[in-house]
Amino acid sequence: MSVFQDSVYRVVREVPRGTIVSYGGVAAILGKPRAARGVGRALCCLPDDSDVPWWRVVNRNGEISIKCATHGAAVQRAMLEREGVHFDDAGRIDWRRFGWKGPDGAREDDSPGPPAVKRSVALAIIDPRSAAGRGSGSARRGGRRQRGERAVLLVQRPPDDEDLPDVWGLPAASLRPGEDWRDAAHRAAAEKLGVTVDVLGELARGSQHRGGHTLDMRLFAARLADGEPSVPQSAHGVTQYVAFRWGGAADLEPGAARGSLCCRLYSECAGAGSRAGRADRSRAG
């Protein structure tokens, strides 16, 4: 057992019955706010006879996102419900009601962790050839697009992602202190795809409540300026994608259904554009 694993187990043992903590919350208590995935991996290493209440750790949206072979999602939900924890119709737990107050007595949504408002930028990078089907690894398959829709770059999040494991979406990044939206967009392209882009106009903006914070996102259109996309990149401290391909709004519908804000924003944009195009053609006819 590593020193980190031992420290994770000590913290999780303190979580009282009938309360929850997030992977990121445990990491923050340990003074390693970027180690949420490491917390998840440590809990997956527990033997079946462990006294560590692993089932009280969920993702920061208040959802079960466990990927362990031995600790299933259905088992985790049953154990939480047995302790009096309630799930809403979307499968989420109310942080204000069930969030652990932590070792210092402050609830997780007030403790070190995500800020009250987290700003993020997403990119709809247009394929200059609009040829769905170029991609990486097992993702070499064509995307589903409406007539006249340009293909955009889709990326797949890793299976151990705390929020949206395995989901296909758009390249995105959180803004850093002092950074504006376009600066963050250029950094996301370089750090996560290994390319430079020309950032075009803003397509949409929206917000979403996620546990202890609100995600405020802006979606920009962009085009490749230099380089060919490649994943994963070597930059540390940011989510690295495991695959990419070119596709359309229909390919993002599953992500939108699972709560991806960038997928929802792009799907709404593409739907509005398609409706406007049909209206124009109807008037022209």
| Residue 207 near residue 219 (C-beta atoms within 8 A) | no
Residue of 211, 239, 58, 224 lying closest to 153 (CA atoms): 224
Pairwise CA distance, residues 190 & 148, whole Å: 29
| Single-letter code of the amino acid located at 150 | R
Whether residue 177 has a cis bond before it, omega within 30° of 0: no
Model confidence at 276: pLDDT above 80: no
Share of the chain above pLDDT 90, in %: 50
Greater pLDDT, 99 or 108: 99
Most confident of 107-111, 128-132, 243-247: 243-247
pLDDT in tens, 182-198: 999 999 999 999 999 99
Q: List the end-to-end C-alpha distance of the chain, in Å, as a whole number.
A: 71
pLDDT in tens, 56-84: 999 988 899 876 655 688 899 999 999 99
pLDDT in tens, 216-230: 999 999 999 999 999
What are the chain's domains?
3-110 (1.10.10.10), 117-284 (3.90.79.10)
| Single-letter code of the amino acid located at 250 | A
pLDDT in tens, 78-92: 999 999 999 999 889
